[in-house]
Structure 1
């Protein structure tokens, strides 16, 4: 019965749900019987569109609280009563956790183009779905930016007016456009330094995500997984918010498009660092997940715990043991495997 929701999908969705394989029965109220009409409706829904909607919604849940906390801090010009890097980090932390809790059971909970590409590379996620997931993720961030702009437009306009009176463009590191996107703080550091900061921050987050999603990891419970991933992101916000970080192409590009709509081309051209915030997280995440796959992953633990199987079944596993001297009598073990099957 646990596999009914995968029926007729022709592939296995991979993502956060890898660590959410078992669910406790929860009694939160008496549910009325499910009608056949309801089942027919759900069966007729296009699965890919549901997954895209879940990815877009999840990114919205992740980005919206983060940029809202940033907006409150920015429009009040750093007044600690309205926020700090602590509140911004916590907003992203809980936003990511709520995104996973709300949407990961439908799409796998990627919420980041780099994560989608890594799942396609390392874990067999269908490449044909990757472009659709990425488009949905970018749209989710774009929608979050538009909603926030609608809610904060008066405060943003007032801040832009104050900056204009001082001869300062609103699309700068301290302006209202910085609510939406990465604007590296003015400093003497060049693109190489900015690249390294973004690379290692995204690598840190990617490595934590990959470790949390390893079903053989004994230190992560299903209920803790969303919050651990959120905490990893919050730690990087707390450590590097003084000169800004991005870590996610969808979050950066979607919100950057909103900033460009309202504040002009400076959303892309300011200091010409836009490509770092947008794209560096992809090779960084590949570096982190590759390190985990090639150095830290123990596939035998996954097989032993029932989360995976050898590509040749039990016979392939016995052959592996014999090849490396872990068992002595292959014939006896092969007969045992056949008798069990």
Structure 2
């Protein structure tokens, strides 16, 4: 029930019962935001743009990698416990952790840096969208740093379990670097019976699939993907590939693989880079896959005239050249 005191304090809308709400209009009083001071504006203006972008890229990769490898850790440590493995980890939960981590990273950090979070994306944007070449090394270094820090944080969080698992494996004479071993929490390793050609093809096609989805989401003429839903769509693309092909060894991102792989080498030995000669596939395959997939989209799917019509681009030679193109193509279409 409301009272004069509640009305006076402007909190009555929190105390109304269901019947009272439907019988009369309840006014919600919103506290106005704090005014922005000149000191705040001066501070924000003084921040180096390049540094903000680099920190945002590192933060985004951290936000996406940490939940994913955390889910892998939970799955790995509970794999021998039938009840625990069901409750705390599965390939499905790992895919969801990466998918939601990517979505959260884009939502949080993309307004500052553009939300690349992958060297392959940065390189593709440089090739096709005019992203400045001088920024590419800064972005890639920041992305690798974000993955490296995420792996270090996970090693700290799961230190006790990792030490116990490591001691048990060493006592049993089993390796620390293999699929299912503690090093595989941080980065991917192939199954013992897999050939590297097979692993490369799986990685390549899965990366192409995700790259097509990313490029479709970035296409301003695509009527089916709004900016608000794009983070979730991109995240689910990663999740779909993890659910479908994660058991066949996937990395799908140089930053997700190389940064944590360095941490794996620090804690579990250099075999993290030499095991079955897989490391180059996990580290590098996403880059050519991204370039092939985006080339396919640019050459086959993209409609630049639609992008111009929606106001997201202009003709490089001006409006007169655009009019000449429309007149010429319209005349040709009418003749046919």
Q: Do the aligned residues in 1 keep the contact of 2:199 with 2:249 (CA within 8 Å)?
A: no
Q: Tell me the secondary structure at the aligned position of residue 147 of structure 2.
A: helix
C-alpha separation between the residues in 1 aligned to 2:101 and 2:330?
A: 49
Q: Which residue of 1 aligns with 2:308?
A: 303
- What residue is the counterpart of 1:196 in the other structure? 201
Decide which of 259, 264, 268 is 1:263's aligned counterpart: 268
2:199, 2:248 within 8 Å by CA — same for their partners in 1? Answer: no
| Separation in structure 2 between the aligned mates of residue 200 and residue 285 of structure 1, nearest angstrom | 10
- What pairs up with 1:52-71 in 2 under 5 angstroms? 52-71=54-73
Distance in 2 separating the partners of 1:287 and 1:280 = 11
Gaps of 5+ in 1: 1-26, 329-341
Q: What CA distance in whole angstroms lies between the structure 1 residues aligned with 2:35 and 2:90?
A: 48
Residues matched between the structures, number: 301
- Superposed, 1:113-124 pairs within 5 Å as 113-124=119-130
The secondary structure found in structure 1 opposite 2:158 is: helix
> TM-score scaled to structure 2, two decimals?
0.87
Q: Out of 16, 31, 34, which is 2:33 matched to?
A: 31
Structure 2 residue 117 is matched with structure 1 residue 111: yes
Moved over 6 A (4+): none
Structure with bigger gyration radius: 2
Change (3 A) 1:28 1:232: farther
- Equivalent position of 1:250 in the other structure: 255
Deviation, structure 1 residue 139? 0.1
**C-alpha contact 1:114 1:249 (8 A) present in aligned 2:** yes
Q: Secondary structure at the match of 1:242?
A: helix
* 1:113–1:133 CA contact under 8 A, matched in 2: yes
Structure with the largest fraction of helix: 2
Equivalent-residue separation in structure 2 for 1:162 and 1:217 (angstroms): 53
Inter-partner Cα distance in structure 1 for 2:216 and 2:128:
13
| 213, 216, 236: which one aligns with 2:218 | 213
The reply on whether 1:232 has 2:237 as its aligned counterpart is yes
Residue 155 of structure 1 aligns with which residue? 161
Does 1:40 find its partner at 2:42? Answer: yes
Cα offset, 1:182, TM superposition:
1.1
Quote the Cα distance in structure 2 between the aligned partners of 1:306 and 1:150.
49
Aligned-partner Cα distance in 1 for 2:332–2:208: 39
CA distance in 1, matches of 2:241, 2:254: 16
The aligned counterpart of 2:134 is 128
**What are the residue-to-residue correspondences of 1:82-97 with 2, within 5 Å?**
82-97=88-103
